[in-house]
Amino acid sequence: MKNEPSLIKELKQFEAIRQVVRIPEDHEIKIKVPQYLLKDEIVEVILIVRKRSNDFEQKISQLRDAMKDEIFLSDLKEISEDFKDCEFINFI
């Protein structure tokens, strides 16, 4: 396109290849590169790390909120009543 913004033209020159990996103990990640990429071709690698601390803090916050939730507490009490006559067997 003749009037295409320069950023769009530049982005069309890139290809994104996504791989999701866990960080190993040695903190080294191997990247599998498609065969069609030529040897010695230059690529740019960017690590995008999802922050987990916020997820953990959010879950703890939700647990704290559940302790004050009347409906949750009522359900928990009802379930507890359902199992009060059960015998628990230690399988360990």
pLDDT digits (tens, 9 = 90+) for 64-89: 998 899 998 998 888 888 887 777 66
pTM: 0.42
Structural Rg of the chain based on CA atoms: 26
- Report domain extents, the chain: 6-82
Q: CA quadruple 76, 80, 83, 88: dihedral positive or negative?
A: positive
Q: CA quadruple 34, 37, 40, 42: dihedral positive or negative?
A: negative
Which position has the higher pLDDT, 16 or 91? 16
